[in-house]
Amino acid sequence: MTKGKHVILCVTGSIASYKAVDIARRLSDSGINVSVVMTDAARQFMSPLAFEAVTRNKVYTNLFDDPLSHVTLPQNADLFLVAPATANTIGKFASGIADEIVSAMFMAFEGTVLIAPAMNEKMFNNPVVQKNIKNLTATGVRFIGPDSGSLACGYEGKGRLADTGEIVEAVISALSPKDLKGKNIVVTAGPTVEAIDPVRFISNRSSGKMGYEIARAASRRGADVTLISGPSPLVPPFGVSFIKVESASEMEDAVSKKFIKCDSLVMAAAVSDFAPSAFSRKKIKKGGLDVLKLRRTPDILQSFGKKKGKKLIVGFAAETGKDIGSAKKKLMSKNLDMIALNDVTQEGAGFNSETNIVTIIDRNGGVSDHPKMKKIEIADIIIDRMLRLWEKGGKR
């Protein structure tokens, strides 16, 4: 969604400027063209070479190197980010001072501006800095952070640069189309865990990545997203309401609380089909169990498919083999609008992989094969297909 977009990343003189290298790298990795601009003070902390290496672009450091770059570069940029932003740079922006390259470019830029401040807490709380932030916010500038925590000066307080992941997410989100605005989407992800005793459980190999990427992509595109996840090491995407569950029954309860208000349910979770018929409160001793009796867990998708009304319901079919017939059967029997089939035995598809290979089947009989691609790209394709179904069926 953000490939080919152009972001100006301004780095100013804070010890947190080393974190800007990570921001530049992550934005570049997302296909964004990043031009870094540094103040003289930033160059006391970091070399332009570090930014040149990660962005593969020229770094701008001097207003007079090229008499027009402070105007031409902003003209061709989609977003202006300052991270970290010092009290001095914020003050210049708020007062209309443009005596060096960063403040001159800010003055010449007309689009979305994001500022991530980083400074000592006393400086941040200074009424002049607060007034400058208020005035800039009133002109449409958006501030990210700062966070609270230990500061480089030895103080504890508010002034730390916001998490670099949060800053990157804010940029990508601001650059994404808002075609899901007004939609409420519930996404499930990860495995469920069915306890045998306090130590052991039945589960599966799902990492949760596909569901987390769908939640991330939907949130970036403006949806109000709730992510309900079984145990997963993944960090929930910024801007998403997160509910952590363990078992299939807990997942069913969590979905049922959110289902009434949602426009769509996307069940990417690998719900365990079986649970032990009884839970032993005490650890079962080695010789204490020969046969493990199982019961079926609730089929969450099936039960909400029955109550779907005008909601759009999306399922996944994890198969060992490209079994389109079985996926179509699941689509029909669970009353879905769309199902994404993946053959978990293929290399680069399924559990724990950064990529996936899916075939998407919709209720109108549309079938499309998608080659191996990153899960975030597949998430956007699934959302595009959901939007098309919404268009066809009015507000479903």
Chain contacts with ligand CTP (rule: CB under 6 A): 248, 267, 269, 271, 273, 297, 299-301, 315-318, 330
Give 82 or 341: the residue with its C-beta nearer to ligand CTP: 341
Give 56 or 307: the residue with its C-beta nearer to ligand CTP: 307
Give 125 or 352: the residue with its C-beta nearer to ligand CTP: 352
Contact by Cβ (8 Å): 117, 90? yes
Give 229 or 297: the residue with its C-beta nearer to ligand CTP: 297
To the nearest whole angstrom, how small is the minimum distance from the Cβ of residue 91 to ligand CTP? Answer: 52
Number of helices followed by number of strands (H, E) in the chain = 14, 19
Q: Which of 353, 359, 360 is nearest to 389 (CA)?
A: 360
- Does residue 57 sit in helix, strand or coil? coil
Please say if 153 is a catalytic residue.
yes
Give 52 or 273: the residue with its C-beta nearer to ligand CTP: 273
- Phi, psi torsion values for 106, nearest 5 degrees: -55, -45
Contact by Cβ (8 Å): 143, 162? no
- Does residue 70 sit in helix, strand or coil? helix
Other Cβ atoms within 10 Å of 65 Cβ, number:
11
258: CB partners within 8 A, 6+ apart: 186, 226, 228, 243
- Residues 395, 123: Cα–Cα separation, whole Å: 50
Other Cβ atoms within 10 Å of 22 Cβ, number:
14
* Active-site annotation holder among 53, 153, 199, 292: 153
What are the start-end ranges of the H helices in the chain?
Answer: 19-29, 40-45, 48-55, 69-75, 87-95, 101-108, 121-125, 127-138, 164-175, 209-220, 248-259, 300-306, 324-333, 375-392
Give 19 or 334: the residue with its C-beta nearer to ligand CTP: 334
Pairing mode, strands 112-117 and 79-85:
parallel
Q: Among all residues, which ones are annotated catalytic? A: 153
